[in-house]
Structure 1
Amino acid sequence: MTDSKSPSFFAENWEIGPIFRALLRNKVGAMLIALQIAFTMTIVVNAIYIIVERSDKMQRPSGIDEANSFYISSVGFSHDFNSLVTTQEDLNLIRSLDGVIDAVQINAVPLSGSGWSMSLQTQPGAEFDGTGTAVYMIDEHGLNSLDVALVAGENFSPTDIQTRQSSQTHWPDKVMITLAMANRLFPDEGLTALGKTVYINDIEPMIITGIVDQLQAPWVGWDNVENVMLTPEIRDAKSSRYFVRTKPGQRDRIMNEVESQLAKSNSGRIIRDMRSVEETRVRAYRDNSAMISILVTVMTILVIVTGLGIVGLASFSVNQRKKQIGTRRALGASQLSIVRYFMLENFLISSAGVVIGAALTIVLNIVLVDAFSLDPITWYYIPLGMVALWLVGQLAVFGPARKAANIAPALATRSV
């Protein structure tokens, strides 16, 4: 006995009409899978875009020799503690150690999350807007210690270095800035900013005597992270931070040696907060790393659940249609035509899902851009996401389709 519906149920060619009519008879299941695919695509595409953006952000070069650098703090507590003398003695000691390239007292460290910031402007007066910049106070050893390249102008000389008191508000008359900062202050002029005057504290002039290639601010989440200025100053304070650059492969040994030597050299202070720049980078971007891990986990779960949903719907469909499939096989349908039918059926469901998903992806991205100041998603992520979900659907349905193709023609002769 044959099923009267079998001729319209399977077609030897790729006609969509019979498949579409079959889907209408089980439209609830098909709609649920399509919506699941749409939801998965919306989350996965936006998640991948955020992951790529965060990964690129985490790979940004800081401009310093991260692999071979560390920093350490000295905090004086005795009543006769002389900060300037101690600082000079400490720097002389550190610079004399075998394996040390150079060292400098510095008020902040790139990537560390804590530092100084000021505003520079190209015209004097409180009525003009300034451009925010991170501030690093260094001496003539600063560029070599940080491994920052000077691309224009000249480094600070020993006679340029001033002593900065804790309550001081005025600034030196010389400054070095990054090339990114030069381009922000003087758009399209770049290196020609050398020798020009900028103003700090609204009216206090500073002459740009040097431009360095790249150096990041301490705050990795800051939009103007490349805006940096370097001033020729040594801080007269009981708390000092030393930035040390070593020869390749010598950092860990030098860290232990510096900590030990400084602790022995002066009993009127404590040594603390020693940390490599590599560790500082990990700490600076740990929120981004955690977000990436969470997004990868969510994406993986969503794709697996979607795949299982497709497998479940296809398996249910096969079980419901066993007699019809057997009838079609008895009438001469090949195994390939059976597999093709279920693959095409899934393709139609997936197509509806990815089209809805594409629209939802754009809507969610608009919300994310407004809420978290992200860049709009690049257009090609959407078609790539559609192709990926099509492939997931085809792979998921292949197993049930093979199972359907293996149904024996003899099943058609069995009673219902």
Structure 2
Amino acid sequence: MLELGPILRALSRNKIGALLIAVQIAFTMAIIVNSVFIIYERSQETKRESGIDEANTFFLSSSGFGANFSAKATIQEDLDAIRALPGVVNAVQINAIPISGGGWSMGLQTQPGAEHDGIGLAVYMVDEHGLQAMDLELLAGENFTPSDIRWRGNGASDWPDKIIITKAMANRLFPDDDYSQTVGKTVYINDTEPMIISGIIDKLQAPWVGWDNVENAMLSPEHLERSAVRYMIRTEPGRRDELMKTVEELLAQNKNRVIDNMRSIDYVRERSYRGHTAMIKILSTVIITLTIVTSLGIVGLASFSVNRRKKQIGIRRALGATKFDILRYFMVENLMISCVGVVVGAALTIGLNMVLVNALSITPMDWFYIPIGMLLLCTIGQLAVYGPAKKATLIAPATATRTV
């Protein structure tokens, strides 16, 4: 068995080099482990389901003008015409688009009065076609009926008597009850205005992908009586792009308005998570760069050590040391340096994560990232030192003993 004493004495004669590599490993570990955690967290966020049929859904804006433009009549005519098109599953006028970055939010509370805190949620104003147009699954309760739908004018501050909320919101409002038991219960908006929960849907995300309450949403049975409105259209599978052009041409026949901002939900998802994607790419580049730099540092130190100790290696070979003994010597030496580095790195990793949690409001890192990071950095060190160590085994005993 290889004695650790000679290795420690050899390292003591080259303290600076070993210390620099250990410090480099420590900082590399702290950055890589936290980067991997952030990459995983951001990638999971980009995969969250919005709750709607994204692949087959698009939306557009209609802005009317002129003294003879009737918002209410135009909206109803538009919806009837769009819904009648072959290939259209359903369509709805809506005030906001999920995961788009812009929309409405309010707060609901289980007790009336300004002294009670409300729970924030996104508000989507739809009619009785909203569930099918958005492909939402009704878990409990009932959908809106045509008689529930009202017209909301500019400046209106009151709310309908009925709402449909997500399962996540039901669990937030009534954590002690099963979500199905919340149907029929009364909640309050604007501090004192009562609303009855008539239904629970499985999932519908808010427009703001970075919001802590992204799963909290409600449907309000309303049409917006405005000249500038937005329509969301769901199509049969594979017909979205075809019908985007068809719907635009259909609505453009009314010359008293402008049709614009037509986008697919796929496009919206890509745009909304563009920051996440950019961060993942940047952090991936940082991880690769740091891994290469650290590996090169280990290779450089090992190569320097081999060149300085050629005579020592030759003597050991002449005294009977095998190639495996020489290889093991340098591998163990590097492992000792790496162990010091990853132990310090574990402390730095925890400290950096605490800073990131406070600065970026990310969730604390799971404990298992640290031992995995320690094992990974030690493995990288062993792989990096293998080349120089293997080269040391090729030193001939006779040649080495003649080296001055």
What is the TM-score when the length of structure 2 is the normalising length? 0.98
CA displacement, residues 335-393 of structure 1 (integer Å, 9 cap, x when unaligned): 11111100000000000000000011011111111222221111110000000001100
Q: Which residue of 236, 243, 251 maps to 2:232? A: 243
- The answer as to 2:128 corresponding to 1:131 is no
Q: Which residue of 168, 175, 178 maps to 1:180? A: 168
- The aligned residue for residue 225 of structure 1 is 214
CA displacement, residues 257-278 of structure 1 (integer Å, 9 cap, x when unaligned): 11111112x0000000011101
- The aligned residue for residue 254 of structure 1 is 243
- The aligned residue for residue 384 of structure 2 is 396
After superposition, residues 82-97 of structure 1 pair within 5 angstroms as 82-97=70-85
- The answer as to 2:373 corresponding to 1:385 is yes
Q: Which residue of 97, 106, 111 maps to 1:118? A: 106
CA displacement, residues 232-279 of structure 1 (integer Å, 9 cap, x when unaligned): 100100111000101111111111111111112x00000000111011
Over 3 Å counting, the alpha-carbon distance change for 1:415 and 1:380 in structure 2 is closer
- The answer as to 2:133 corresponding to 1:145 is yes
8 Å contact kept, 1:330–1:412: no
- The aligned residue for residue 206 of structure 1 is 195
Distance 2:401 2:214 in 1: 75
CA displacement, residues 147-186 of structure 1 (integer Å, 9 cap, x when unaligned): 0011111100011110000111111111111111111111
Distance 1:199 1:330 in 2: 88
Distance 2:100 2:318 in 1: 73
Q: Which residue of 18, 22, 27 maps to 2:10? A: 22
Unaligned residue ranges in structure 2 (runs of 5+):
none
Q: Which residue of 170, 176, 182 maps to 1:193? A: 182
Over 3 Å counting, the alpha-carbon distance change for 1:201 and 1:415 in structure 2 is closer
Q: Which residue of 253, 273, 279 maps to 2:261? A: 273
CA displacement, residues 124-153 of structure 1 (integer Å, 9 cap, x when unaligned): 111111111110000000000000011111
Cα offset for 1:66? 0.6
Distance 1:131 1:250 in 2: 39
- The aligned residue for residue 326 of structure 2 is 338
Moved over 6 A (4+): none
Distance 2:328 2:387 in 1: 12
Distance 1:59 1:228 in 2: 19
Distance 1:412 1:281 in 2: 65
Distance 1:412 1:207 in 2: 89
- The answer as to 2:234 corresponding to 1:216 is no
Cα offset for 1:415? 4.7
After superposition, residues 329-368 of structure 1 pair within 5 angstroms as 329-368=317-356
Cα offset for 1:412? 3.1
Once structures 1 and 2 are overlaid, which stretch shifts more, 195-204 or 102-111? 195-204
After superposition, residues 312-327 of structure 1 pair within 5 angstroms as 312-327=300-315
Distance 1:32 1:308 in 2: 13
CA RMSD, 1 decimal: 0.9
Distance 1:21 1:188 in 2: 65
> For residue 195 of structure 1, what is the amino acid of its counterpart?
G
Cα offset for 1:410? 1.5
8 Å contact kept, 1:327–1:411: no
Residue 198 of structure 1: SS of its match in structure 2? strand
Cα offset for 1:77? 1.7
Cα offset for 1:201? 1.0
- The aligned residue for residue 34 of structure 1 is 22
Q: Which residue of 268, 271, 283 maps to 1:283? A: 271
- The answer as to 2:361 corresponding to 1:376 is no
8 Å contact kept, 1:322–1:411: no
Over 3 Å counting, the alpha-carbon distance change for 1:235 and 1:411 in structure 2 is same
- The aligned residue for residue 87 of structure 2 is 99
- The aligned residue for residue 8 of structure 1 is none
Q: Which residue of 43, 49, 52 maps to 1:64? A: 52
Distance 1:22 1:41 in 2: 25
- The answer as to 2:61 corresponding to 1:78 is no
What is the TM-score when the length of structure 1 is the normalising length? 0.96
Residue 260 of structure 2: SS of its match in structure 1? strand
8 Å contact kept, 1:214–1:226: yes
Q: How many residues align?
A: 403
Unaligned residue ranges in structure 1 (runs of 5+):
1-12
CA displacement, residues 43-84 of structure 1 (integer Å, 9 cap, x when unaligned): 000110111111111111111101110111100122211111
Cα offset for 1:14? 2.1
